[in-house]
């Protein structure tokens, strides 16, 4: 019986694992030192090796004579652990065994000693699928299991796992595997399996699998079944509902030459042929990106205006989420492309530059917009950057958005504290609920996905993560109420309230004030609001008080910081 490639080439020891060097080294060292934890959690994207590493680790820690942290494969324990009938390495699919009864049954069996091996290892895959009751049933056992039991929990969605479970485990984050490493592995497999395939196809597979080795092998397997001889990029496009490079190039020329009929006809043809419009747009966006990169790095000449190409990349990226959620993606794509084509060559360069700034300056660094080329005078580039900053200042009516100025302002803010911040938050919460609108709340929650694109940004990534951690409770035309679970997080975010408001409004293109409170405060306020509403007491809008600052001496920063961290227990002499 034929075995799928991803099953044939699943790693059998730590040496076979790709792209998870830190995790592999840590687990191998723990085996060498015989220092095992009682519970582990592996989380990360699909196809990155979580389950495979779980099985390898389970076999290796049961090996009687491990070699450099790897199972020897020869001792009786290894021979038993490699058998499907092994009763001491138990793999549980939490997606189909997610109830309290299944976990209780597991707890009853845990006390039994291993039949053949040193340890009984429970691998619970997709653990986030367990119900709350099942997690509660597992909690005490996970904290203090018998000495002969080790738990390995694997999940693609750690956010859904309770903190009480995570805190009892050693956590390992599996990263997406780089395209280069995926290509190296695919080439080796193609040689072994005698698969004739062009290198540009392997490059396309490696790029499109989003860091998952399993997806890459499945795609290669599908192409091998489809093609009898040499596998080309045309075959890849046919199988995956995409376009070849030449077809993408032709589509790109039709858009920028404003051939409306050709663009609309091609979109209809692609749809009739069953091609995926999302895949086509993603391919077009990557093609345009490669043109821009080659222009900056290799000084390659562009056939069309750089700002127009840049604008289309940003437009596709911005609208991709809406396209995916649209009830009729084809019509949506037709409309945004027609609108873009109508605007080609209409805007001045200054306007185009401002559009690029509006949509991307929060995630791109200055050097990404105005890079220094190897043959360019650095002094000239500095002038270009200064002009760029002037445009931003002019656009914002004199507000200087220069990062250096912001950092200087933040240093000043560190020496001052708003004494009436609680009163300001109370008024904002009151004013939000006084004019709260449920549809506005739904709309604002839907905007949170926009912040995922900025979580790794060096300047504002930590702010975006803070916003994503919040729960949006109420929204009006002017205000938003956000809450956090712990008071310490509320206090921390109140210290950054101005930055949070600035980032939120810039990314969502809005102009709202934000109130930050704890979950417990929200429950109290919500209950009072509902009680008043039922009794006919209408909440009215109040005037928000001005900020009152308590100035602290700059030369007393050490004592001030100590008081901030430790409170009243600090005694200053």
Spatial separation of the C-alpha atoms in residues 243 and 258, rounded to whole Å: 20
CA nearest neighbour of 352 among 384, 388, 327: 388
Tokens standing for residue 406: 């912001």
Pairing of strands 39-43, 170-173: parallel
Q: In degrees rounded to 5, what are phi and psi of residue 376? A: -110, 145
Q: Label residues 292-310 b or e (16+ Cβ within 10 Å = b).
A: eeeeeeeeeeeebeebbbb
Spatial separation of the C-alpha atoms in residues 108 and 146, rounded to whole Å: 12
65-68, long-range: CB < 8 A, 24+ apart: 66/31, 66/32, 68/28, 68/32
Q: Cβ distance 279 to 240 under 8 Å? A: yes
In DSSP notation, 421-487 reads HHHHHHHHHHHHHHT--HHHHHHHHHGGGGGGGGTT-TTTHHHHHHHHHSEEEEE-SSEEEEEESSH
- In sequence order, what are the residues at sequence separation of 6 or more whose Cβ sits closer than 8 angstroms to the Cβ of residue 386? none
Structure letter (DSSP) for residue 96: T
Residues pairing with 424 in the sheet? none
Q: What is the pLDDT of residue 573?
A: 54
CB burial class (10 A; 0-12, 13-18, 19+) of residue 101? exposed
Structure letter (DSSP) for residue 10: -
CB burial class (10 A; 0-12, 13-18, 19+) of residue 219? buried
CA nearest neighbour of 106 among 90, 128, 125, 127: 90
How far CA 83 is from CA of 65, 114, 132, in Å, comes to 18, 15, 33
Which helix (H) or strand (E) covers residue 102, if one does? helix 100-110
Q: Cβ distance 359 to 314 under 8 Å? A: yes
Tokens standing for residue 68: 């450099």
Distance of CA 65 to the CA centre of its chain: 40
CA nearest neighbour of 122 among 135, 136, 143, 106: 106
State whether residue 70 is helix, strand or coil: strand
Structure letter (DSSP) for residue 344: T
Structure letter (DSSP) for residue 127: G
| pLDDT of the chain, 573 residues: tens digit per residue | 678 888 888 888 898 888 888 999 999 999 988 888 889 999 988 888 899 999 999 999 989 888 888 888 888 888 888 887 788 888 888 888 778 888 888 888 888 888 888 899 999 998 998 888 888 888 888 888 888 899 999 998 888 888 889 988 999 999 988 888 888 888 888 888 888 888 888 888 888 787 888 888 888 888 888 887 788 888 888 887 778 888 888 999 999 998 999 999 999 998 888 888 888 888 898 889 888 988 888 888 888 888 889 889 999 888 888 888 888 889 989 999 998 988 886 654 445 455 445 544 443 343 433 343 334 444 443 444 344 434 444 444 444 344 333 433 443 343 346 788 888 999 999 999 989 888 888 888 888 888 888 887 778 888 888 899 899 999 999 999 999 988 888 888 888 888 899 999 999 888 999 999 998 899 889 888 888 888 888 888 888 888 887 655 444 555 555 555 555 555 555
Q: What is the pLDDT of residue 556?
A: 53
Tokens standing for residue 460: 């504002």
Q: What is the pLDDT of residue 123?
A: 92
Alpha helices in 241-305 (DSSP H): 245-256, 260-272, 277-298
How far CA 203 is from CA of 148, 198, 230, 234, 249, in Å, comes to 46, 9, 15, 14, 18
Calculate helix-pair angle for 277-298, 306-325, nearest 10 degrees: 150
Q: What is the pLDDT of residue 571?
A: 57
CB burial class (10 A; 0-12, 13-18, 19+) of residue 117? buried
CB burial class (10 A; 0-12, 13-18, 19+) of residue 3? exposed
Q: What is the pLDDT of residue 414?
A: 39
Tokens standing for residue 501: 């408001």
Residue at token pair 């986030």: 128
Spatial separation of the C-alpha atoms in residues 25 and 40, rounded to whole Å: 15
pTM of this structure:
0.55
Q: Cβ distance 295 to 302 under 8 Å? A: yes
């Amino acid at each position: 019986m034929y075995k799928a490639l991803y099953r044939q080439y699943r790693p059998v020891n730590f040496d076979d694992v790709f792209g998870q060097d830190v995790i592999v080294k840590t687990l191998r060292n723990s085996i060498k030192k015989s220092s095992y934890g009682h519970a582990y959690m592996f989380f990360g994207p699909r196809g990155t090796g979580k389950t495979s590493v779980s099985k390898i680790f389970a076999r290796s820690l049961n090996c009687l004579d491990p070699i450099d942290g790897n199972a020897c494969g020869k001792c009786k324990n290894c021979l038993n652990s490699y058998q499907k009938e092994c009763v001491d390495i138990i793999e549980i699919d939490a997606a189909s065994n997610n109830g309290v009864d299944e976990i209780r049954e597991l707890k009853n069996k845990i006390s039994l000693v291993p039949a053949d091996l040193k340890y009984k290892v429970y691998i619970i895959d997709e653990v986030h699928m367990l119900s709350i009751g099942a997690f509660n049933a597992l909690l005490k056992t996970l904290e203090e299991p018998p000495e002969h039991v080790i738990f390995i929990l694997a999940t693609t969605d750690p956010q859904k796992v309770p903190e009480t479970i995570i805190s009892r485990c050693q956590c390992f984050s599996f990263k997406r595997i780089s395209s280069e490493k995926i290509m190296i592995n695919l080439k080796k497999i193609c040689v072994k399996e005698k698969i004739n395939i062009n290198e540009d196809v392997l490059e396309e597979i490696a790029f499109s699998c989003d860091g998952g080795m399993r997806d890459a092998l499945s795609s290669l397997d599908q192409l091998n079944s489809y093609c009898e001889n040499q596998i080309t990029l045309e075959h890849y496009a046919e199988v995956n509902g995409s376009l070849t490079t030449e077809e993408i190039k032709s589509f790109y020329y039709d858009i920028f030459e404003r051939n409306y009929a050709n663009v609309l006809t091609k979109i209809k043809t692609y749809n009739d042929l069953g091609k995926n419009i999302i895949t086509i747009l993603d391919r077009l966006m990557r093609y345009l990106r490669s043109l821009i990169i080659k222009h900056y790095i290799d000084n390659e000449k562009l056939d069309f205006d750089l700002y127009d190409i840049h604008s289309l990349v940003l437009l596709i990226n911005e609208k991709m989420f809406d396209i995916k959620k649209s009830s009729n993606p084809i019509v949506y794509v037709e409309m945004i492309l027609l609108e873009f084509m109508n605007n080609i060559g209409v805007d001045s360069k200054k306007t185009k530059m401002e559009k690029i700034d509006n949509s991307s300056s929060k995630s791109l660094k200055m050097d990404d917009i105005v890079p220094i080329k190897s043959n360019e005078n650095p002094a000239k580039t500095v002038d270009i950057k200064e002009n760029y900053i002037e445009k931003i200042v002019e656009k914002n009516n004199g507000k200087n958005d220069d990062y250096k100025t912001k950092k200087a302002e933040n240093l000043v803010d560190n020496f001052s504290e708003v004494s009436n911040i609680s009163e300001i938050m109370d008024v904002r919460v009151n004013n939000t609920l006084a004019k709260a609108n449920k549809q506005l709340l739904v709309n604002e929650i839907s905007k949170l996905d926009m912040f995922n694109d900025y979580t790794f940004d060096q300047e504002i990534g930590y702010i975006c993560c803070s916003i994503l951690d919040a729960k949006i409770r109420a929204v009006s035309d002017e205000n938003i109420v956000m809450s956090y679970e712990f008071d310490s997080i509320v206090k921390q975010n109140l210290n950054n309230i101005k930055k949070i408001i600035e980032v939120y409004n810039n990314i969502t293109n809005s102009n709202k004030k934000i109130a930050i409170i704890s979950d417990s405060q929200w429950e109290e306020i919500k209950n009072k609001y509902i009680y008043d509403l039922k009794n006919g007491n209408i909440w009215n809008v109040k005037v928000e008080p001005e900020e009152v600052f308590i100035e602290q001496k700059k030369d007393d920063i050490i004592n001030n910081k100590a008081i901030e961290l430790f409170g009243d227990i600090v005694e200053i002499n």
